[in-house]
């Protein structure tokens, strides 16, 4: 397993990722959608394409008045340009719609067992009639009727309907694991749930409308870009209209169909057609990562994030302390120590205990050799603060340094001074020392380490290259925190973190104009989640946390934040790249159309026909056809997003300017020439 795959758990199969990008069903629905979207009320929302729409009508009328093959062809190509734009948007919406349909099926009319005020009587009512504050009873096999908090009991719940994760989770009253989601199913036990969602506004309802994009609003950057596109459209209207008069002055005329064709070629139709698809696809990519973004604005903000607050446990470390080293004292070899430590831990089911057995096996090759029955295990207790084993008349104990030292002295033994030194060194390195003793003798010290996940350091280095600062949040003392921080390679850490200090830290970062992202699950995280620019609540977390954040991670994976940032960046890059490409395309179109327009007035202008296009008519047709086809060609790119590799901004821009800027200038020259050859060879003209 490589570091990278370790970081990205394989996609859950439930809600998200159920459909491939070009699913047959989606494709069919999108083709239908291309036509239903021809409604002018929908078209007018996209000003660039609306100009094409109106232009098509103009050429249609012109074709009827002065019918010619050329004018009809232009009309058809323009109509297809509009349809292709509709198709792009419909494709982007398609997968979300399909997912919403799947979700709707889970929202079948369930019955709720409402508990009446006396606290014992149950009545059956429809789930949709439940009000906030109602108490309902759920037992094994019941579908939880709506969102709520468990006020009584504990149960295992199957949340696969929402998260796609089939392993059941434990939900219990009180604490941060008390929230349940409507649509999930109780697998065992009985719980009483207090409903927190108003009718029609449950998490499932919101999720459906989110993946469907029903109330999708344009994001701030999308709006700004739309304005620029409108400006680039507005400018070409006088360019084209004035051309008519200029041409007249040169004693030549330009047909209205040709003018419309020129206008459509010049306005940024490529990005205009794909802009909304890019935005929808960005939201959809979040859903593919099992993240529900409450708004497109949050996805955009994710790209701008410059500080990530990461919880140590689960994100940076595995969360359990694990044995990493055996240090023998007073002549005891590490091997002997390992043997004794292993024996003392065989029955120890704590993660620490198991990790000792594993380390003894992996590092010292100690296996089950001395099996026997005369083992008497001494479990850990809060009073002795140690655990161990009695066998063959010998006692082995492991535990905190002070406890073991006292025990050894009580037994009449003495403690070598090096024990103190070793334990201090280990503690200074941010680890936990565990002292092992056999009867009157101290054998040595086990280093229990908070193990940093493999590959995480490289990941942080990548983030740093992208200009993102990582801050580790931990409840550990500063010493331990510093040690882990330096091992994991985070830029900063917040030790002995409390929700208040977390909130303070976020405000401090934001004060300097930085955007902050964090994850959280507890109710006490809610203020910080609300304050953060990107607040990702774990689906396993409390209702308060989920409401405070602007994203919900259905996987409840602490490393998700990094992927969220990447999706945000990818969205913005895709927008920028296609805008650049679209504008850069215009140069070639000019070289195709301008000589074609004026060759009659000034035959010598053929010198500008650098593509050597066959005739004025094929030149104009090639340009409009290219203009339409490029939309279709770029749909996959718009939906999947421009490839994003974490790197410094300077590197990313160099690559993208080369591909989409320089490429955007060159590609249409080639494309238009090829179309012209096809038109000529097929003798269409």
Partner 1 sequence: MAFVIEVALLVVVLGLIWRYLGAYLVAVYEGHLHFLDWIERPVLRLLGIQRDAEQSWKRYLRSLLVFSVVSLVITYLLLALQGHLPLNPEHLPGVTPALAFNTAVSFVTNTNWQNYSGGVTMSYLSQMVALAVQNFVSASVGVAVAIAVIRGFARKRSGTLGNFWIDTLRGIIYVLLPVSIVMTLVFVWQGAPQTLLGPAHIHNVLNGVHQTILRGPVASQEVIKQLGTNGGGFFNANSAHPFENPTGFTNFLQIVLLLSVPVALTYTFGKMVGNVREGVAVLMAMIILFAGTFAFSLAAEKGGNPAIRAAGITSTRGNMVGKESRFGVDNSVLFNIASTQTSTGSVNSSADSYTPIGGMGMLAGMMYDEISPGGIGSGMYTMLIFAVLTVFIGGLMVGRTPEYVKKKIQRTEIIWASVGVLVMPITVLVFTAITVAIPAGRAAILNHGPHGFSEILYAFTSMGNNNGSAFAGLSSNTAYFNIVGAIVMLIGRFGIIIPVLALAGSLAAKEEVPVSAGTFLTATPMFTGLLVGVILLVGALNFFPAVALGPIAEAVLHGRFF
Regarding 223 and contact with partner 1 (CB under 8 A), the answer is yes
By CB under 8 A, name the one of 466, 548, 564, 628 that touches partner 1.
Answer: 466
DSSP secondary structure string for all residues of 501-543? HHHHHHHHHHHTT--EEEEE-SGGGHHHHHHSSEEEEETTS-H
What gap in Å lies between CA 663 and CA 141, rounded to an integer?
59
Binding track over 28-67 against partner 1, x by CB under 8 A: ----------------------------------------
Q: Which CB atom, from 277 or from 495, has the smaller least distance to partner 1? A: 277
Q: Which CB atom, from 7 or from 247, has the smaller least distance to partner 1? A: 247
Q: How far is the CB of 80 from partner 1 (least distance, A)?
A: 24
What gap in Å lies between CA 163 and CA 16, rounded to an integer?
8
In which residue are the tokens 């499932």 written? 204
Q: How far is the CB of 652 from partner 1 (least distance, A)?
A: 5
CA angle 395, 399, 403 (to 5 degrees): 90
Q: How far is the CB of 656 from partner 1 (least distance, A)?
A: 4
By CB under 8 A, the residues from 473 to 512 that bind partner 1 are: 512
Q: Is 450 annotated as catalytic?
A: no
88's enclosing H/E stretch is: helix 69-106
Strand partners, 432: 448
By CB under 8 A, the residues from 639 to 658 that bind partner 1 are: 644, 648-650, 652-654, 656-657
In which residue are the tokens 């108490």 written? 135
Q: How far is CA 611 from CA 263, 593, 620, 627, 631, in A?
A: 20, 11, 12, 16, 22
What gap in Å lies between CA 382 and CA 437, rounded to an integer?
18
By CB under 8 A, the residues from 601 to 640 that bind partner 1 are: 601-602, 604-605, 607-608
* Burial of 657 (C-beta count, 10 Å sphere; 0-12/13-18/19+): middle
Q: Which CB atom, from 248 or from 367, has the smaller least distance to partner 1? A: 248
Q: How far is the CB of 618 from partner 1 (least distance, A)?
A: 19
Q: How far is the CB of 626 from partner 1 (least distance, A)?
A: 17
By CB under 8 A, name the one of 464, 482, 615, 632 that touches partner 1.
Answer: 464
Regarding 3 and contact with partner 1 (CB under 8 A), the answer is no
Q: Which stretch binds partner 1 (CB under 8 A): 299-307, 341-349, 372-380, 442-450?
A: 299-307
494's enclosing H/E stretch is: strand 492-494
Regarding 238 and contact with partner 1 (CB under 8 A), the answer is yes
By CB under 8 A, the residues from 582 to 601 that bind partner 1 are: 583-584, 586-587, 590, 594-595, 597-598, 601
By CB under 8 A, name the one of 98, 660, 668, 675 that touches partner 1.
Answer: 660
Regarding 579 and contact with partner 1 (CB under 8 A), the answer is yes
By CB under 8 A, name the one of 164, 279, 303, 430 that touches partner 1.
Answer: 303
Are the C-beta atoms of residues 643 and 580 closer than 8 Å to each other? no
By CB under 8 A, name the one of 102, 156, 209, 306 that touches partner 1.
Answer: 306
Q: How many other C-beta atoms are found inside a 10 Å radius of the C-beta of residue 662?
A: 12
By CB under 8 A, name the one of 113, 354, 406, 514 that touches partner 1.
Answer: 514
The catalytically annotated residue of 284, 311, 521, 525 is: 311
Q: How far is CA 615 from CA 435, 612, 625, in A?
A: 90, 9, 15
Regarding 533 and contact with partner 1 (CB under 8 A), the answer is no
For the chain, count helices (H), then strands (E).
Answer: 26, 22
Regarding 572 and contact with partner 1 (CB under 8 A), the answer is yes
Three-state secondary structure readout of 541-607 = CCHHHHHHCCEEECCCCCCHHHHHHHHHHHHHHHHHHHHHHHHHCHHHHHHHHHHHHHCCCCHHHHH
Q: How far is the CB of 238 from partner 1 (least distance, A)?
A: 5
Three-state secondary structure readout of 592-648 = HHHHHHHCCCCHHHHHHCCCCCCCHHHHHHHHHHHHHHHHHHHHHHHHHCCCCCCCC
Q: Which CB atom, from 182 or from 282, has the smaller least distance to partner 1? A: 282
Q: With CB under 8 A, what is the number of residues at the site for partner 1?
A: 74
Q: Which stretch binds partner 1 (CB under 8 A): 9-17, 173-181, 233-241, 470-478?
A: 233-241
Are the C-beta atoms of residues 290 and 164 closer than 8 Å to each other? yes
Regarding 334 and contact with partner 1 (CB under 8 A), the answer is no
Regarding 326 and contact with partner 1 (CB under 8 A), the answer is no
Q: How far is the CB of 642 from partner 1 (least distance, A)?
A: 8
Sequence-distant (6+) residues with CB within 8 A of 560 are 289, 290, 291, 519, 536, 553
Q: How far is the CB of 575 from partner 1 (least distance, A)?
A: 5
Q: Which CB atom, from 303 or from 541, has the smaller least distance to partner 1? A: 303
Binding track over 412-431 against partner 1, x by CB under 8 A: --------------------
Judged by DSSP in three states, 186 sits in: strand
Regarding 245 and contact with partner 1 (CB under 8 A), the answer is yes
Q: How far is the CB of 421 from partner 1 (least distance, A)?
A: 42
Q: Do strands 135-139 and 154-158 pair parallel, antiparallel, or not at all (unpaired)?
A: unpaired
Are the C-beta atoms of residues 311 and 558 closer than 8 Å to each other? yes
Name the residues annotated as catalytic: 311
């Amino acid at each position: 397993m490589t570091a990278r795959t370790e970081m990205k758990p394989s996609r859950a199969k439930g809600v998200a990722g159920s459909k491939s990008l070009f699913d047959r069903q989606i494709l069919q629905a999108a083709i239908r959608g291309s036509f239903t979207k021809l409604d002018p009320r929908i078209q007018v929302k996209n000003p660039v394409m609306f100009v094409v729409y109106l232009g098509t009508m103009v050429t249609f009328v012109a074709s009827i008045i002065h019918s010619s093959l050329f004018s009809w062809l232009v009309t058809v190509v323009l109509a297809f340009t509009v349809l292709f734009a509709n198709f792009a948007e419909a494709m982007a919406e398609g997968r979300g719609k399909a997912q919403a349909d799947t979700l709707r099926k889970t929202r079948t009319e369930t019955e709720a067992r409402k508990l009446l005020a006396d606290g014992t009587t149950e009545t059956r009512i429809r789930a949709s009639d439940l009000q906030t504050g109602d108490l309902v009873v759920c037992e094994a096999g019941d579908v939880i009727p709506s969102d709520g908090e468990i006020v009584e009991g504990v149960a295992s719940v199957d949340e696969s309907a929402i998260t796609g994760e089939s392993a059941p989770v434990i939900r219990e009253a009180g604490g941060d694991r008390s929230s349940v989601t409507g649509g999930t199913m109780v697998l065992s036990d009985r719980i009483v749930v207090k409903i927190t969602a108003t009718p029609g506004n449950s998490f499932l309802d919101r999720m459906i409308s989110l993946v469907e994009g029903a109330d999708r609003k344009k994001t701030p950057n999308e709006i700004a870009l739309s304005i620029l596109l409108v400006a680039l459209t507005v400018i070409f209207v006088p360019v084209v209209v004035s051309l008519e008069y200029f041409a007249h002055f040169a004693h030549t005329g330009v047909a209205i169909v040709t003018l419309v064709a020129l206008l459509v070629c010049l306005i940024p139709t490529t990005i205009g057609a794909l802009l909304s698809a890019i935005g929808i696809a960005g939201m959809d990519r979040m859903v593919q990562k099992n993240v529900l973004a409450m708004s497109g604005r949050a996805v955009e903000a994710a790209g701008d994030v410059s500080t990530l607050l990461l919880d140590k446990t689960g994100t940076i470390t595995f969360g359990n302390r694990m044995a990493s080293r055996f240090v023998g004292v007073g002549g005891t070899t590490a091997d002997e120590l390992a043997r004794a430590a292993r024996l003392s831990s065989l029955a120890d089911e704590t993660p620490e205990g198991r990790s000792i057995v594993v380390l003894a096996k992996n590092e010292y090759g100690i296996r089950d050799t001395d099996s026997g029955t005369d083992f008497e295990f001494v479990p850990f207790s809060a009073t002795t603060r140690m655990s161990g084993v009695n066998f063959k008349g010998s006692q082995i104990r492991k535990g905190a340094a002070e406890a073991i030292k006292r025990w050894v002295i009580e037994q009449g033994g003495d403690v070598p001074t090096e024990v103190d030194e070793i334990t201090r060194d280990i503690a200074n390195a941010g680890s936990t020392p565990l002292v092992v003793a056999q009867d009157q003798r101290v054998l040595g010290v086990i280093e229990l380490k908070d193990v940093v996940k493999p590959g995480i350091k490289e990941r942080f280095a990548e983030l740093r290259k992208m200009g993102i600062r990582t801050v580790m949040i931990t409840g550990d003392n500063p010493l331990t925190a510093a040690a882990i921080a330096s091992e994991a390679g985070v830029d900063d850490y917040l030790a002995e973190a409390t929700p208040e200090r977390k909130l303070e830290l976020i405000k401090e970062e934001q004060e300097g104009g930085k955007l902050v992202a964090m994850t959280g699950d507890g109710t006490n995280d809610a203020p910080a989640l609300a304050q953060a620019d990107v607040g990702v609540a774990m689906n396993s977390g409390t209702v308060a946390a989920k409401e405070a954040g602007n994203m919900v991670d259905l996987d409840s994976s602490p490393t998700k934040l990094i992927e969220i940032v990447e999706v945000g960046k990818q969205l913005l890059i895709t927008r920028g790249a296609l805008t650049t490409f679209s504008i850069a395309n215009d140069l070639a179109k000019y070289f195709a159309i301008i000589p074609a327009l004026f060759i009659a007035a000034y035959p010598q202008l053929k010198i500008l026909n650098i593509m050597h296009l066959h005739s004025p008519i094929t030149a104009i047709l090639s340009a409009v056809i290219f203009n339409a086809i490029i939309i279709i060609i770029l749909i996959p790119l718009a939906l999947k997003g421009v490839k994003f590799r974490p790197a410094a901004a300077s590197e990313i821009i160099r690559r993208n300017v080369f591909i989409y800027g320089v490429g955007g200038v060159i590609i249409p020259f080639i494309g238009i020439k090829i179309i012209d050859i096809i038109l000529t060879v097929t003798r269409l003209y």
